[in-house]
Structure 1
Amino acid sequence: MDDKKRMVDTYEVKHAVCIGDKEILFMEDGKKPYPYLVCNCTWDNPLGVNQYSDAVVSADYLEMMAEFASRVTAQIEAVKAERAKISVSLGPFTLEHCVPDDTGESIQDKVAVIRQECLRPEYRTADKQLVLVTGGFGSQGKARGRAVYVVNLYSSKESRWNRGDILGVVKPECMPDWVKERLQQIESERQVKHRKQEQVR
């Protein structure tokens, strides 16, 4: 068991709930005149480092606990609202939908599935799992590297995973129509980009 305390400056993190795009922190520093602090933590930046914002302090424990609970509730509602806007089936992809990952084979330019256990519980849905592999040493067969670079086929967000986070490649018969449409769009965009590059030359 890891007993190491998590510290932010002089404050010790007592409670932390990560949901949606934020982590909500409740912290304490008994030496401060206002010992209780609640703030948000995000990490969506090029370096992936923690960034803290919207901090409030108080000497009233219950007031700060209510603030903490309110922010967590707000994040839950934000995720619900985000999910309600999604127009595709959210049913998660499992091993039955995939050709199991074979590290001896390349998965470059293939539609892969991120393992559910590698995603936070609120994001274990198809729109978060299905990605197009775009590169990285880990995407190659028998590679020593682990990095796999992907683009999410629903959100178009680019990210990095390890090869071990990949469950497998989607079976053709399990490919959703919305993924097929997105792949056609990506291919069209690549062709346009290639033509522009050729014109420059």
Structure 2
Amino acid sequence: MDDEKRMVDTYEIKHAIHIGDKEILFGVDERKSDCPYMVCNCSWDNPLGIEHYFNAMGSADYLEMMTEFTSRVTAQLEAVIAERTKITVPMQPFKLEHCIPIDSMQNLENKVVIINPERLRPEYRTADKQLVLVTGGFGAHANSRGRAVYTTNLYSGKESRWNREDILGVVRPEYMPDWAKERLAQIQSERHLKQKKQEIER
């Protein structure tokens, strides 16, 4: 059993709820009589996936900080719900039967793969979050000791880093939706133009 306490500065984290793109934290440091309670946000939206704490607030009033904590959690819930209402494609998640499983011998670069839904947060286990184009990374190559796989999400266009074990498999052609085919063609065209521009600038 892991009894290691999670700390943010001198505050021990007593409550943590991760919703959407942020985690909301409630910390306590009883030694700080003037400000024993703290609420802050945490995210990992950076190339190295390192915890980034921000928007910290402190107070000696427990109820004030608990109200702030619950308000931030509610705001995150509302943001995720609002984001979901804007999705214009079917959200039914992809499963193992929709893909070709991968092995260590397979090169994944420039292939459309499915992110394992178990590697996604519950609120993000939808098709628009699963289909990605592999663009590079040591983990994308066959028999590589590296794990990093860099991708572009077909729906949002967002670039992300995954580990090879986060990938469920390569999407089967018959299960590739029309919206994904259109976005794939657009992303590949944009990447080709960018590459051409870089070659000219050299």
Give the TM-score normalised by structure 1.
0.93
- Find the counterpart in structure 2 of residue 58 from structure 1: 59
| Deviation at residue 16 of structure 1 after TM alignment | 0.6
Work out whether residues 47 and 161 of structure 2, in 8 Å CA contact, stay in contact via their aligned partners in 1. Answer: no
Greater CA deviation, 143-152 or 22-31? 143-152
- Kindly provide the amino acid, as one letter, of the partner of residue 24 in structure 1: I
- Find the counterpart in structure 2 of residue 173 from structure 1: 174
Greater CA deviation, 63-72 or 92-101? 63-72
Q: 1:195 to 1:27 in 2, by over 3 A?
A: closer
| Deviation at residue 45 of structure 1 after TM alignment | 2.6
- Find the counterpart in structure 2 of residue 67 from structure 1: 68
CA distance in 1 between counterparts of 2:147 and 2:189 reads 29
Q: 1:96 to 1:200 in 2, by over 3 A?
A: same
Q: 1:195 to 1:24 in 2, by over 3 A?
A: closer
SS at match of 2:88: coil
CA distance in 2 between counterparts of 1:50 and 1:200 reads 36
Q: 1:138 to 1:61 in 2, by over 3 A?
A: same
Q: Which runs of 5+ in 1 are unaligned?
A: none
Instruction: Report percent identity of matched pairs.
Output: 69
User: Matches of residues 18-167 of structure 1 in structure 2 within 5 Å?
Assistant: 18-32=18-32, 33-167=34-168
- How many corresponding residue pairs? 201
Q: 1:195 to 1:9 in 2, by over 3 A?
A: closer
- Kindly provide the amino acid, as one letter, of the partner of residue 162 in structure 1: N
Deviations 1:138-181 (A, max 9, x none): 11222222221111111111111111111000000000111100
Greater CA deviation, 112-121 or 102-111? 102-111
- Kindly provide the amino acid, as one letter, of the partner of residue 126 in structure 2: T
SS at match of 1:164: helix
- Kindly provide the amino acid, as one letter, of the partner of residue 109 in structure 1: N
| Deviation at residue 86 of structure 1 after TM alignment | 0.9
Aligned-residue CA RMSD (Å): 1.6
Greater CA deviation, 36-45 or 104-113? 36-45
CA distance in 1 between counterparts of 2:110 and 2:76 reads 34
- Kindly provide the amino acid, as one letter, of the partner of residue 118 in structure 2: E
Q: Which runs of 5+ in 2 are unaligned?
A: none
- Find the counterpart in structure 2 of residue 9 from structure 1: 9
CA distance in 1 between counterparts of 2:12 and 2:201 reads 56
| Deviation at residue 198 of structure 1 after TM alignment | 5.4
- Kindly provide the amino acid, as one letter, of the partner of residue 23 in structure 1: E
Give the TM-score normalised by structure 2.
0.93
CA distance in 2 between counterparts of 1:85 and 1:169 reads 27
| Deviation at residue 197 of structure 1 after TM alignment | 4.7
